[in-house]
A = this chain, B = another copy of it.
Amino acid sequence: MESMIKSFDDLMRQASRVTPKRILVVNPGNAETFKAIADAGKQLPTSFLLVGDPEVIKEGLAQADAQRLRAEIFEAPTSARALELSIALARESKADVLMKGSVDTSTMMRAVLQETSGLRTGRLISDIFIFEFQPRKENKLIMITDGGITVAQDLKAKVDLINNAVSVAHALGNQEPKVAVLSATEFVQPALVSTVDAAALSKMNERGQIKGCVVDGPLALDNAISPEAAAEKGIRSKVAGHADILLAPSIESANALAKSTTYFAGFRLAHVVVGSKIPILIPSRADTSDAKLLSIAVGMLMSGVRWQEE
């Protein structure tokens, strides 16, 4: 059992020690992607499957000074064909992590989410955002979900979103993560569905319907992550003040909260899509090369996870 990963430096150390992982890149075609590939090739035990135009790929690797990368090139004349071939390779277990290159995110996710030809496992496929928070002396990784994929977040979907995030926490060595179900208040208010759902999720955890974690909610953000704020409110909870996973009540809320940690607080970040046959990375152009490398590292640690039908 690996020890608990409490910082992104820990994450990189841990990922550098795993058995080599095969990263499949869909249509690599811009400098940022080649830079991320080159960084990962140097710092992490990786090999690459690069699917796209061989001329573009060779040129990109040369520009990124990555000629000595352990890489196999698969020819695909268009981005649509590259996507199709990449998903076929992933379905044949030829890769451990799937990473987006120059292909439209929504087109790629549509292909991934196809019922029969995509990368579904029977689990909900969801996005996990991870940031590093240093409230005191000690660093801590906190996850936010789901700001990227799941539009209809009803109670059933929220159970799946917790399970997916908990799987990531386990892969990062946190065997019993604390899950805060966020709302605008710590009180159950019948008119505010997010508070009622939060109570239901807490009880499902208490009854053993959600395992491998401690769930509590509703909690407002301050009560979830600040022990002082939780104490001032007199909230008695194992989770309050110490949350490892923040389940936001909607895709909009998760999206804005995650971006706030990047754009307002300036925190480092990683993000990964899980629940699919292999972890999927959908770096945005705005992501720093640091964020892309950390996301690859998370994907590598997640690649061993076998998803079971719920």
Contact = CB atoms under 8 A, between A and B. Distances in A.
Interface string A162-186: 0000000000000000000011110
A221 B255 contact: yes
Contacts of A261: 260, 264
A220 B255 contact: yes
Interface string A262-278: 11111100000000000
Contacts of A285: 232
A249 B252 contact: yes
A151 B194 CA distance: 11
A225 interface: yes
Contacts of A286: 222, 226, 228-229, 232
A18 B192 CA distance: 40
Given A252-B249, A285-B232, A265 B262 contact: no
Copies of this polypeptide in the complex: 2
B255 A256 contact: no
A133 interface: yes
Contact of A256 (B152, B248, B265): B248
Nearest to A146: B184
Contacts of A148: 184
A152 B189 CA distance: 12
A235 to B, nearest CB: 13
Nearest to A195: B252
A179 to B, nearest CB: 15
A286 B263 CA distance: 24
A223 to B, nearest CB: 9
A262 B222 contact: yes
A1 interface: no
Closest 10 CB pairs of A and B: A184-B255, A253-B253, A264-B265, A265-B265, A221-B259, A260-B260, A221-B256, A184-B251, A249-B252, A184-B252
